[in-house]
Chains A and B, each alone.
Chain A
Amino acid sequence: MDDLLWIKDLRVWVQDDLGPRELIKGVHLKVGAQKIVALVGGSGSGKTTAGLSILRLLAESMSIRGGEIVFEGHDLLKCSPRQMQELRGRDISMVFQEPLSAFNPVFTIGLQVFEVLRYHTKLSHGQIMERVEQLLLSVGLDNPSQVMRSYPHQLSGGMRQRAMVAQAIALNPKLIIADEPTSNLDVTLQAQIIELFRKLRDELKVSILLITHDMGVVRELADEMAVLFSGQVVEFGPTKDILSNPRHAYTSELVKILQ
């Protein structure tokens, strides 16, 4: 039972113009403490939906119709909205694919990180400012005071992604869900962000659920991986084992790309 997060047979339905249908038909995975687990799948396989289900932030048209999401022994699907709100950010936080749109364009980066700390903690104004600066430094932004004063559009893509990570780790969460954190970055920046995630896991002792389609990143970073194919997890296990010995046809396709 030292698994931090345990998703059992998650099923998500969507109701739209095409009628009700099952989008996720059974996701099983476990994220252990201080582990980086990758959830791999093609576009439209439902990986982002699975990620959002954990925080119960699905769009109105989608609903979870089965399964369990156990986080530290509690089933998140049975939590009240109030409990979920307290848990978000504090225990589980999220890094989004496109930090430009995940930051509010009308406020500075500093203010947006500040806001999270101000809302969740009882720190004084000065203490929060210090913490924000320290957070930005810890994600490798060397000039925190200037970054704090910048608006999202004034930063480069890599810096924005780092700032996003800084916001995500602000409250020392136990789990970070990273939704394609590297797919909009060039290769050198990808390497830096991968390095950053590794550092976070080792220093802050967080677990990371990495949602991605990039097998290169998975091979570099993930301890374990789950392969999502048309809404189902078809394979789950240590990354090395799966990459060396793929059992499902889709997995072997993915592995082929790597070589």
Chain B
Amino acid sequence: MSWLLRVFGRIRAYFSKRALDVDLEAEMAAHLDMAIEENIERGMSPFEARRQALLRFGSVQQAREIQREARGLMKLDILLGDLKYTLRTLGRDPGFTAVALLILALGIGANIAVFSVVDTLMLRPLPFADPHQLVWIAPPPTKCGLSCATYSTDAYDEFRMNSRSYQDVTGYFAFSSPGNLSLKLSGGAPIAATSIDVIANFFNVLGVQPARGRLFRPEDARHGAPPVIVLSDAWWRTQFNADPNIVGKAFDIGGQQTTVIGVLPASFDFGAVFAPGTKVDAITPLDLYGPPRDWGNIITFIGRLKPGVSLSQARQDAARVAPSMCWNNKQPQSCGSYKDQVVPVPLKDYISGRLRRSLVVVWSAVGMILLIACVNLSNLLLARVAARSKEFAMRGALGASRSRIVRQLLTESLVLSIAGSALGLCLAYVLVFWLAHQGSIALPLLSTLHIDGAALAWTFLIAITAAVLFGLVPGLRMAGGNLQESLKDSGLGSGQSRKHESIRSILVVSEVALACVLLVGAGLLLRSFLHVLDVDLGFQPDRAAAIKVDYDDNVPGDKTGVLTTQKRTVIFQQILAHVSAIPGVEAAGISDYLPLGQNRAWGTPFPKGIKPPDNASSPLVYVITPGYLHAMGTRIRGRDFTWDDGARSDSVVLISASFARYLASLANWPDGNAIGQVLASGKQDLHIVGIVDDVHEEAVEGEAGWQIYYPQSQADSAGAQLVLRTTLPPPVLANSVLRALRALNPKQTAAEFRPIQTLVDHANSPRRFFMILVASFATLGLLLAALGIYGVISYTVTRQTQEIGIRMALGASAGRVERQVLAGTLRLAIIGVFIGLAASLAAAKLIASLLFATSPWDVATYLGMALALLVVAAVSGYLPARRAARIDPMVALRAN
């Protein structure tokens, strides 16, 4: 207890220094007076009495000091003293301080931003209750991606009933396209929005609570139930002005009066988690047991494991249940088709697992930037400290211990570091804010990016680490010096500076090596990206644009669907005729799905008479009008569909080239020619009338899967995207096209006119994002390295002024001096580049999985970057070299 009192006492004493000092003086004065009195009484003379009293008292100053030490917070006083001194010295040299702060702000700011990105995308748990229990259940990844990762209603029922591992299983309808919602407010054109249909227990399984109102109940999804909708927080704010009374209001959505029953919390963003790069405005319940029951595989599975159930147990359970799942209970032969196609993986892994490698690379890159920055600062501080070597020698001679000097230098670097990280934090905040609002980058969870407590803790950690890294080297160097020599050192160019020079050289070499590694990495990524851009997509994205078309092909009482199809054909013909007439439109066509977006498959048609092999992948289906392929710029061999291909003529299809090759090898068609051959699909005969170039429909980089095209007059169309090829830039035509569409259908929503190029850019956006990040880090690293080289060479020249002066006086020409300095610079740079290249070769494998069509040992990149670095080094060394050449020997020899 007494020690606690002591602590409080110390703190109190710290704040009342002056009063306590006055007290002590009074006490000591009284003490001496009494001692003198006693001595006088003993018979001494006043002078002797005083002398003896002082002798017995001891040193008054010492008594004062130990009393102060005993009563207050001495260490705090020392720290504050150091701090004040540091601020003074930094203020006296604003140039140095500004440069140091800038370097630190850039290095630390970049680190904080990247850490936030890594934290958001990889480390932070998903924004759901108990997210570790959530799993994504899907077939093992195949060529056709998400479009093949779905299950039918009957499969869902079977899985949900018989699985023993889950608290509950839910899912959503995976084939909604953007702009599928049409909101009609009074007195205005219909507004397009995006909604997703989910199974009624979706929010329960994820553990999401509404911000307002309520979420779905099982009766909301029942067939014939009154339509309800739940709004996203963003749409509620932008479209409905954050109306506090929104719950219970009904709006005309898609022609039906739909009631808003709730608003989702701002923390829940469907697009961020499940469909990166898309904005989901509202969520509606999926009527599982109505018409969707016969639509085939439409639902994704998400399950919540029971507490204590492990992933491997869930996997075994799924393997057990899968064979009994049926595609359609009314078709017993479809049972068992899901064998080995039901595999749970943790939801977090599914969402961001693919990104892990890229994030690790980016994090390493930014770490290297920080190292380069620290090395730079180390050099700067070393130079500064060397200039004060006499001061430190004096201090040492007066009794300062080595640790005291090191402590003061560390204080200086800490102050710089903390100030730099404060600036860096502001920088990172701006960067993170900007990134979070880049809706076009298709990275999951990016929109939830923000600076949180973890980032702040990381900032603090980096600040301390950086301070120690760059402060320790100069500090130890300084404190370990020979006192005598430093005091004697009267000029520049003494023995100690040679040791300093070798350290500086080592630092420069390491800077160059790090910059080299960064540059090589960035170069490889850039090359990959350029290769990706070169990929033949199977269509021509430039000068083509798409717009979603609303149409009403409903024919009441049409049981077979024939009349609906006929009505739709007429509508599409009209639309295309009108739109093609607009000046500037080269070609136009309609398809129900676009490439690089979602799609679905309808099983695999095989050549007539051939037994289909097991586990063949399914081609994705496009239902198109004549002219679509021409508008997309896709080449056709054979012929395109015509308007004569109708309900009464032969069923015709177009297939993609790789599908055709596969079928030709299977059926041994003569010349491998598929045109004219017949495929069997169910009871139908499909005549192949043409072969189409492979189109990349999931991702630009992956293998193109198979595609099959049906004419819309012979198949059900799931929607309509009007695609135009124009000679003018697409935005110019937007109004005319919309007008034409509205003239035909007043209910046409004000949909967005999207250039096809944006689809491609969207698909490439994650790769572009990472490439830009690493490239900017490499540029930053190069800049820092250049600054570092300049600083060191410049400083060396200054220190060697006398030496150079002597050399010139002895006959060396200015040109020779300049060449020598440059040679010294290049020597350092070459060593650094060699080490950097060696390190890059060693680390190349780490980056290999991120590259596309580029070898991680691509010679051109390595040589190119090495050359660039050497050129930059030469340029950095040039200015100091010129300064050296201009040294006047007389001035140099006279200078001290």
Q: Is B truly associated with A?
A: no
